[in-house]
Amino acid sequence: MAGERNVWLMQVASRAKHVASAQRVRAFLHQVAAQHAWHDRDFSHEIDRAIARAYGMPPSVRQRSVVTAPSAAKPHTAVKRPTWPEFSPEDSQLYAQHELLFELRAKPFTPAEVLDQIYTQDELLCLARDVRSASTMPRHHWRGMEPAMQFIVANPMTATIGRTLDGKLSPRCLEIATQSRRFQVVEFDRGSPQQQAAILSSLHTPATVPLIMVLWSGGKSMHGWFDVRALSETAKQDFFAWAVTLGADASLWDPCKLVRMPGGRRSNGKAQPILHFNPMHLLT
């Protein structure tokens, strides 16, 4: 079936990238398609897409329009912000068949252990018990309080307090958010946990966009943390656009967005277990 062939293309490209160039792998896949008489339709698009994913360059998505929004650096000026592509059920179903990088069970990592390996002791972290109680303090000031927290801003803040767009002081606002993000969190709440985990696994590219952590929200969604430091600002946006095409929550592009605290706890008492954490995948 075509879907099975698409998955095969993706798997071969992902494995071959370690031993051959993108051009050679593309030529090989076209040769396979020709030799095995895949003549029911043209697989050129699927081959290009598999190569793009394997080599860390997400396939092109529909041209994104832009809307104006206030700038973080200059809160009262306007900058262009993307609107995101539509969800593609076909692509989502295809990548939901990807081989899993991790098992769907809680791992024995504590929130403190995770935070200590991805932030320095003096970096300014914004944590919150709920959406109304965020505070920004150096990492070491949060020690011992992490398990009780429900939310975190994935990237360190640049100051402990800033001004919102309406001029109010706040510990979580665009003015003090990191503009060149280190981590991009991708959240899926469509499909089964197995399908969500498969799509997150498909977005993992070790050399350029490694999946360093996955947690369960305690509700219905899975959150993947990707190290995107190797990407240009444009490539970061393209990566996230591809995730949105596969069903990710587009609101997580917001640089001061609260996301689920790894190993934290929801307001109803449910845990937010860490399903995968591999600091060896962190880019240096």
Q: What is the pLDDT of residues 258-284, one digit of tens each?
A: 999 999 999 898 999 999 999 888 887
pLDDT at residue 13 in the model: 85
Sign of CA dihedral 201, 207, 213, 217: negative
pLDDT at residue 59 in the model: 52
CA–CA separation, 140 vs 135, rounded Å? 13
Does residue 58 contact residue 226 with C-beta atoms inside 8 Å? no
Average pLDDT of span 214-242:
94
pLDDT at residue 42 in the model: 65
Average pLDDT of span 48-55:
80
pLDDT at residue 185 in the model: 98
pLDDT of 240 over the 90 cut: yes
pLDDT at residue 243 in the model: 94
pLDDT of 76 over the 50 cut: no
pLDDT at residue 100 in the model: 96
Percent of the chain with pLDDT over 90: 61
pLDDT at residue 40 in the model: 61
Percent of the chain with pLDDT over 70: 86
Q: How confident is the model at residue 80 (pLDDT cuts 50, 70, 90)?
A: low
pLDDT at residue 19 in the model: 75
pLDDT at residue 8 in the model: 82
Average pLDDT, the chain: 86
Cα–Cα distances in angstroms (integers) from residue 6 to residues 1, 42, 98, 111, 183, in the given order: 9, 12, 10, 38, 29
**Token pair belonging to 45:** 């698009």
CA–CA separation, 274 vs 254, rounded Å? 23
Tell me which of 31-45, 51-65, 161-175 is least confident. 51-65
pLDDT at residue 14 in the model: 81
pLDDT of 74 over the 70 cut: no
Sketch the domain layout of the chain as residue ranges.
2-54, 88-281
pLDDT of 125 over the 70 cut: yes
Average pLDDT of span 48-70:
58
Average pLDDT of span 72-76:
45
pLDDT at residue 58 in the model: 55
Q: How confident is the model at residue 39 (pLDDT cuts 50, 70, 90)?
A: low
pLDDT at residue 62 in the model: 40
Looking at per-residue pLDDT, the higher value among 30 and 161 belongs to 161
Q: Computed over its alpha carbons, how large is the radius of gyration of the chain? A: 20
Other CB atoms within 10 Å distance of the CB of residue 161: 14
Q: How confident is the model at residue 5 (pLDDT cuts 50, 70, 90)?
A: confident
